[in-house]
Amino acid sequence: MQLSEIQMIKQRFGIIGNSALLNRAIDVAVQVSPTDLSVLIIGESGVGKENLAQIIHQYSRRKHATYIAVNCGAIPKGTVDSELFGHEKGSYTDAKNERKGYFEAAEGGTIFLDEVGELPADVQAKLLRVLEAGEYMRLGSSKVQKSNVRIVAATNLNMSEAISDGRFREDLYYRLNTIPITVPPLRNRKEDIVLLFRKFAADFADKYHRPAVKLTEDAQQLLSNFYWPGNIRQLKNITEQISVIEQNKDINADTLALYLPQNERKNLPALYKNRAESRSFDSEREILYQVLFDMKKDMNDLKQLVHDIITKQNIDISQVSKHDKYAVFDADDELDAMPYMPKQTPSNIKIQRNNIEDTEEYVEESLSLVDAEKEMIKKALEKHNGKRKYAAADLHISERTLYRKIKEYGLE
């Protein structure tokens, strides 16, 4: 698609930015629109995934039919089935009348399932049936109803992790993911950040009837280098705060810094995971833990090796004088087992007593790290009433890592 055509689409749907990644996502959305293939839009919260769903609908043959956007994460779990597929009168306590679900209301059109990864397991099974056979049943009914609805789904989850943790069906994922579209996070669209700020500033100036705020050069640099975990939604909120509060409309870096969360100013690299990288990490803390655990294992192996050598040679270390710096023994057959020692004649092979003692002390100290981590995980789970998602966030590790450590330490 020509760049000029993409620019026209952006103007029509109010999309700001010239990022190549954004243009690619729009291009794919337009190309897939004429088909009835299911689409999965992948991106962090606040990147504007629904804009692409609207593009897909408006450039499809279903554009004159109904378009319904459903936030699956905002529907109470007990009512998701009824909301999506409808229910019969008396199907549950408060079902005083029959009700059409979103799929029935969107017949012939498009349904956008945002946060599809939050759907309960039983509803995932019904959605899979819709995708495979184009049919479903209302809650409390045995009558099969046909569905002619284009499904566009979106998620901010790492679906590979959700599948491996048993939170999402793998077969449903592959049915939804016929055409994947990735929306880049704002930190990967640095060239668009200042443009978006100017657009939001102009909008809020019209809304509140005051001059638009402007950024100095140093403020623009600070804005562009911010990590933006909340993406466009966060940028819009901060722009509105500045527009309302600041009397001086020329915003410098010092003033802008007052509105940027302190703990989110570092431009840290994002760590991406997939199933082939099962030992990737989410934070420096996890990397440090892994190094310490590996070091503990190496120290334990060293301690065991020294113990085996001493036992085999029948050496009583306790009889060695405290003033002796070395314990000497013949170990011609142990040379190959100790690659870290210099090659010497058997009569000259020595093990430093002080080093052995230091190793034992270090191993004991390393072992305490396991207890400390176990205690931290227990406290985080208690603090959040067993909710692993919030406990993992509090510990600055991924849910998958927390789940593995819970199993490892028997905290289930």
Question: What's the whole-number average pLDDT of the chain?
Answer: 82
Residue 121 clears pLDDT 90, i.e. is over it: yes
Per the structure block, which two tokens stand in for 199?
Answer: 């657009």
Of 329 and 238, more confident? 238
Angle between helical axes of 217-225 and 190-208 (0-180°, round to 10): 120
Burial of 177 (0-12, 13-18, 19+ CB in 10 A): middle
Per the structure block, which two tokens stand in for 219?
Answer: 């403020």
pLDDT digits (tens, 9 = 90+) for 216-226: 999 999 999 99
Residue 135 clears pLDDT 60, i.e. is over it: yes
Q: Average pLDDT for residues 153-157, to the nearest whole number?
A: 96
Residue 280 clears pLDDT 80, i.e. is over it: no
Of 76 and 273, more confident? 76
Sequence-distant (≥ 6) Cβ neighbours of residue 61 within 8 angstroms? 34
Q: Give all domains of the chain, ordered by start, each with its CATH number.
A: 3-184 (3.40.50.300), 188-264 (1.10.8.60), 284-408 (no CATH)
pTM above 0.85, yes or no: no
Q: Phi, psi at residue 263, to the nearest 5°?
A: -80, 5
Rounded Cα gap, residues 86 and 79, in angstroms = 10
What is the band of 384 on the pLDDT scale with cuts at 50, 70, 90? confident
Residue 252 clears pLDDT 90, i.e. is over it: yes
